[in-house]
Structure 1
């Protein structure tokens, strides 16, 4: 119980930092040696780290499983992001008749389903099927809890 409370507090602090960063603040630091600006992690990257922490806690992976799982999971996320980008472009360039747009939307949904099937197969090579299924369930639970908190008007802290 102590460990869970500690994790929740750490994540709340991280989210408070996200909220403060979103409000603006000091400019990016200057890298004096190279003349380029050093980039801070984006809010999306921080959010992804919190999501990974949530999934990691739910899966309770061994170090060996984690070493194999996270690179595979990152590939899965990259492919999902690509389909999401195509889907967004499809919706932005909508045909007034909507027929072609609807057909493309269905094809994007099918691609996502096929990606999930493929990566479920990859995940069960790394961990037991129950844990592989829990990957997708944990993602859904994370999103639903986040949406629930947003609807309640709370700060968008990650679920724990």
Structure 2
């Protein structure tokens, strides 16, 4: 009975490898896929939490989508080139890296943070043309809550499913 199960698992893994794009073509496939999967949940969550009217949503979402695209471009540009099998960035070995590598990572981190801050300022001014400034102010807090509540829940649920196997 165990042999067919192992063969089925191997077959499923082979199909998974075939579907995956080569790293050179789609280095961030896993991260992009997760983003696309969660996008509808994020839109619903933000719309509900900010209590956007139909007109506000119509004016706000095109601006937010541009903001998110630019934000992802900044992060992709600075994302480590080493990725896991699923396309997520490889976790660095902090304790064993050289001082120069650690300095380089911090310099890169600060550079990214400055670019993100500049984007937030730019789009803050754009968004407040579409929705009240109070809702724009709330947006950044709502995004963080979405990350902890919804994405955290997805990973906890995935972890539970994997433990059941």
* 1:69 aligned onto 2:60: yes
Confirm whether residue 59 of structure 1 aligns to residue 59 of structure 2.
Answer: no
After TM superposition, give the deviation of residue 155 of structure 1 in Å.
5.0
Question: 1:70 & 1:135 partners in 2: Cα distance?
Answer: 12
State the Cα distance separating 1:76 from its structure 2 match: 0.4
Number of equivalenced pairs? 116
1:8-157 correspondence to structure 2 within 5 Å: 44-89=35-80, 96=98, 97-98=100-101, 99-146=103-150, 148-149=152-153, 153-154=156-157
Q: Could you tell me whether the CA contact under 8 Å between 1:87 and 1:108 is conserved in 2?
A: yes
Question: Normalization by structure 1: what TM-score?
Answer: 0.61
Q: Give me the whole-angstrom Cα distance separating, in 2, the residues matched to 1:142 and 1:112.
A: 18
Displaced runs of 4+ in structure 1, greater than 4 A?
none
The alpha-carbon deviation at position 109 of structure 1 amounts to: 0.7
Larger radius of gyration: 2
Unaligned runs of 5+ in 2: 1-14, 16-32, 83-88, 160-165
Give the superposed CA RMSD.
Answer: 3.0
Q: TM-score, normalised by structure 2?
A: 0.59
Match of 2:6 in 1: none
In structure 1, list runs of 5 or more residues that go unmatched.
Answer: 1-23, 25-41
